[in-house]
Structure 1
Amino acid sequence: MNRPCAMYEKRFVQGQYPELALRRVQAELSKTLAQLRLSENELSRAESVLSVLVGDSPRQVMKGGWPGGGNAALLASPPAIPARIPGDMIERRPDIWELESRLKAAFYGREAARKDRFPSLVLTGELGQVSTRLNELLNQTSRSYELGAGILQTLFDEGRKRAAVRAADAGCAAVQAAYEQAVLNSFREIRDALVERRKSAEVYEASLDEVKYLHRSWDVASKQYEAGYVGLMDALDTHRSLLSGELDMADAAQMQLNVVVKFCKALGGGWLRRPGSA
């Protein structure tokens, strides 16, 4: 930490710089180093998450140090989202896949309940005549459950089958509503990601122009400082603005990449179909 400030400390000892200027230089250096350490900590956490995601061994996760050499060009030009992506891509989403399976199960359960609601009795007997069971039921003189209570209760199950059909219908409707809501939510996420992608590209272009102008400002300020036209604090303020602009540009570049990830997540796994999929 003392090495970058050695020149200023030497000039301070020689009486060329006041102590206030030296302390401000040291404070700026300490602030920049603090930002660097925070970035290194975030990098370490990202490496750990990536190691777990790709299935590294516990030893490798504890060791850390994810190999570098990434494509730096991705920061300036994230992957382009192709045109005419079909809407049925969202069927791969885990939430829609689960609800679609539940909807099929609820549909088959409803059909089974509807088939089970009819009395289970034989309608015809020998030679196509009316069966004995049906004849006994139709010949009951009263339905007050006095004489034919056993037969009627057995056939109609005291309304339990009818209630089971209603419950199956309600369950099927509930799952269908959840499925439709999940589909609408997926389209909303896709739309939001596409809008955010366009806005993030505009933010990055604006920050890129800002950094370009700040670089020029720093070039001018550093030369003027060396020539003695401006003071050290003015030069430091210009360099501080440049550093802040570069950090903002890095955040904008990260935002562009995050938007592509959001879009892939909204689709349920990117825009490329797996081999053998419909």
Structure 2
Amino acid sequence: MHKHQPPRTRAARALAPLAAIALLAGCSFIPSHERPAAPVPQAYAQPGSEMPTTAKAAADIDWKEYFTDPRLQTLLGIALENNRDLRVAMLNVEQARAQFQIQRANQYPTVNAIASGTRQPKTSGDGYSNLYQAGVGISAWEMDFFGRIAALKEQALAQYLATAEARKSAQISLVAAVASGWLTLMADEELLDISRRTLQTREESVKLTRLRLEHGVSSELDSHQAESLAQAARATYAQQLRQRQLDENALALLLGQSLPDAVRASLPSSRLADAAPMQPLPPGLPSDLLERRPDIRQAEQMLIGANANIGAARAAFFPRIALTAQVGSVSSELSGLFKSGSWAFSLAPQLALPIFDAGRNQAGLEAAQAGRQIAVAQYEKSIQVAFREVSDALAGQATLQQQSEAQRAQVQADSKRLQLSDLRYRNGVASYLDLLDAQRSLFATEQALVLTRLQQLQNQVTLYKVLGGGWTEATAATRS
């Protein structure tokens, strides 16, 4: 009855299995990605008293616009070129891109040129026979009907994108670390200057008390107290010299080389109070961090990759169909290759259906599902960490200015107190202990003011970093 069917009907019946296979080829077991809800409040608890609402977002401000000190810009340029951690992060991106290309290539057959020659005894046992082959072939190409290879490709793509985000995060951290290190060196120079002046004053006080002791105006106790205070200042100065060198070494490691001579020569005259101002930054909303922070985008890509792993683990329960094929010339004589009538081909499809694997596929699926739950938790934690970092920076911005102003007033008061105490001591109205106490108090408050100024400036650097500043598309285009 079939032989009377029209040709179109017979062709349709022949193509039906192919159509079914084509439909299966579009099958995917990857769960749909849904971004988890951000486990943080809708707004920051302390937005700050001087927060601009129309200013440019930190993630849209190039580091050259935010850090306007030419010396710091020079250091940042050097670090972005030479820092080894950033170089490793960039190479990790290249490695992840290559891995993705390898995984993507698995979707396509690999065609190889094949040539072989075989010499073996004849079945009759009389002499030997030769067999020569030449052609092209496909070896065990898996036809991805159930999306296993496609899912692995998606996982490799997500890994590549996550690595690219990690590279951006590394640059943001590097920019902030170099800026903070530069400010620390400026503070070190200012502290050294305070200690140097204090040591000089106390050495003069030692000379004065010895002279007064020789003339019987002061006691030996006053002389020893002055000497003790001078030695304490000398010890502090030595400690700060050591710390300054350690801080310069740390900055040199970030730069990947030593500080330029011109930059180092300008440090002794640097003061934090004269540091180039940084523009105010709007904090925005916590939800903005999802798009602004590379580390959060990295965690989300890892979550997408974990979803793809589930798809690959599900596809492992279904048959795998592999195809091996070869076409070329076969001849018993080498000279007969490629002659008319020597052409041949072979086609060997293979289907493997899991029947018993001792629970391997089920365990693989469970591991992939657990991996996704881990990725969800890591993604949520990255949001919580980002929220806390921004909140901490905003809290510091709201209070450090007030602390700095109060300590500046305290320095002025202690400086006046020292002048009056010295005058009273020289006129015999006050004891030397009052003068020593005034000297110690002024030294401590001057140092505290420098450290608070440093903390205030570093807090501005931190706010820029935690809001996603330090990397822009324009900068990436320029560097590439």
TM-score after normalising by structure 1: 0.71
Is the 2:310–2:368 contact (alpha carbons within 8 Å) kept by the matching residues of 1? Answer: yes
Is the 2:400–2:456 contact (alpha carbons within 8 Å) kept by the matching residues of 1? Answer: yes
For residue 252 of structure 1, what is the aligned residue in structure 2? 452
Is the 2:272–2:454 contact (alpha carbons within 8 Å) kept by the matching residues of 1? Answer: no
Q: Deviations over 1:105-126 (max 9, x none)?
A: 22222223334434458xxxxx
Whole-Å Cα distance in 2 between the matches of residues 3 and 188 of structure 1?
48
Write the mapping of 1:61-210 to structure 2, written as runs, cut at 5 A: 66-69=264-267, 71-74=270-273, 79-85=278-284, 86-88=288-290, 90-93=292-295, 96=296, 98-119=298-319, 154=353, 157=356, 160-210=360-410
User: 1:215: Cα distance to partner?
Assistant: 1.6
2:382 aligned partner, one-letter code: A
Q: Deviations over 1:113-166 (max 9, x none)?
A: 334434458xxxxxxxxxxxxxxxxxxxxxxxxxxxxxxx93555665454333
Kindly tell me: are residues 42 and 274 of structure 1, through their superposed partners in 2, closer, same or farther at Cα, counting changes over 3 Å?
Answer: farther
Is the 2:213–2:220 contact (alpha carbons within 8 Å) kept by the matching residues of 1? Answer: yes
What SS class does the counterpart of residue 282 from structure 2 fall into? coil
What SS class does the counterpart of residue 16 from structure 1 fall into? coil
Is the 1:224–1:230 contact (alpha carbons within 8 Å) kept by the matching residues of 2? Answer: yes
Is the 2:272–2:453 contact (alpha carbons within 8 Å) kept by the matching residues of 1? Answer: no
Q: Deviations over 1:48-68 (max 9, x none)?
A: 1111111115xx79x9x9444
Q: Give the one of 421, 438, 443 matched to 1:243.
A: 443
Is the 1:47–1:66 contact (alpha carbons within 8 Å) kept by the matching residues of 2? Answer: no
Whole-Å Cα distance in 1 between the matches of residues 274 and 356 of structure 2?
69
Whole-Å Cα distance in 2 between the matches of residues 8 and 89 of structure 1?
66
What SS class does the counterpart of residue 56 from structure 1 fall into? coil
1:273 aligned partner, one-letter code: T
Is the 1:119–1:155 contact (alpha carbons within 8 Å) kept by the matching residues of 2? Answer: yes
Whole-Å Cα distance in 2 between the matches of residues 201 and 47 of structure 1?
27
Is the 1:89–1:271 contact (alpha carbons within 8 Å) kept by the matching residues of 2? Answer: no
For residue 247 of structure 2, what is the aligned residue in structure 1? 46
% of aligned pairs identical?
23
Whole-Å Cα distance in 1 between the matches of residues 275 and 354 of structure 2?
74
Kindly tell me: are residues 239 and 249 of structure 1, through their superposed partners in 2, closer, same or farther at Cα, counting changes over 3 Å?
Answer: same
Whole-Å Cα distance in 1 between the matches of residues 249 and 374 of structure 2?
41
1:107 aligned partner, one-letter code: N
Is the 2:318–2:353 contact (alpha carbons within 8 Å) kept by the matching residues of 1? Answer: no
Residues 161-170 or 5-14, more deviating: 161-170
2:386 aligned partner, one-letter code: S
Residue segments in structure 2 that go unaligned for 5+ positions in a row: 1-199, 322-351
User: 1:202: Cα distance to partner?
Assistant: 2.4
Kindly tell me: are residues 174 and 160 of structure 1, through their superposed partners in 2, closer, same or farther at Cα, counting changes over 3 Å?
Answer: same
Is the 2:386–2:466 contact (alpha carbons within 8 Å) kept by the matching residues of 1? Answer: yes
Is the 2:306–2:372 contact (alpha carbons within 8 Å) kept by the matching residues of 1? Answer: yes
For residue 28 of structure 1, what is the aligned residue in structure 2? 229
For residue 275 of structure 1, what is the aligned residue in structure 2? 474
Residue segments in structure 1 that go unaligned for 5+ positions in a row: 122-152
User: 1:98: Cα distance to partner?
Assistant: 4.5
User: 1:250: Cα distance to partner?
Assistant: 1.8
Whole-Å Cα distance in 2 between the matches of residues 77 and 201 of structure 1?
16
What SS class does the counterpart of residue 275 from structure 1 fall into? helix
For residue 147 of structure 1, what is the aligned residue in structure 2? none
What SS class does the counterpart of residue 29 from structure 1 fall into? helix
Is the 2:278–2:460 contact (alpha carbons within 8 Å) kept by the matching residues of 1? Answer: yes
Q: Deviations over 1:63-84 (max 9, x none)?
A: 9x94443752457886344115
Q: Deviations over 1:186-229 (max 9, x none)?
A: 11121112212322222222211211211222232233334443
Structure richer in strand, relative to its length: 2
Residues 254-263 or 68-77, more deviating: 68-77
Kindly tell me: are residues 10 and 27 of structure 1, through their superposed partners in 2, closer, same or farther at Cα, counting changes over 3 Å?
Answer: same
2:311 aligned partner, one-letter code: E
User: 1:43: Cα distance to partner?
Assistant: 0.9
For residue 81 of structure 2, what is the aligned residue in structure 1? none
Kindly tell me: are residues 120 and 56 of structure 1, through their superposed partners in 2, closer, same or farther at Cα, counting changes over 3 Å?
Answer: closer
For residue 133 of structure 1, what is the aligned residue in structure 2? none
Q: Give the one of 212, 216, 226 matched to 2:416.
A: 216
Is the 1:76–1:253 contact (alpha carbons within 8 Å) kept by the matching residues of 2? Answer: no
User: 1:20: Cα distance to partner?
Assistant: 1.0
What SS class does the counterpart of residue 353 from structure 2 fall into? helix
What SS class does the counterpart of residue 12 from structure 1 fall into? helix
Kindly tell me: are residues 76 and 101 of structure 1, through their superposed partners in 2, closer, same or farther at Cα, counting changes over 3 Å?
Answer: same
Task: Verify: 1:233 aligned to 2:433, yes or no.
Answer: yes
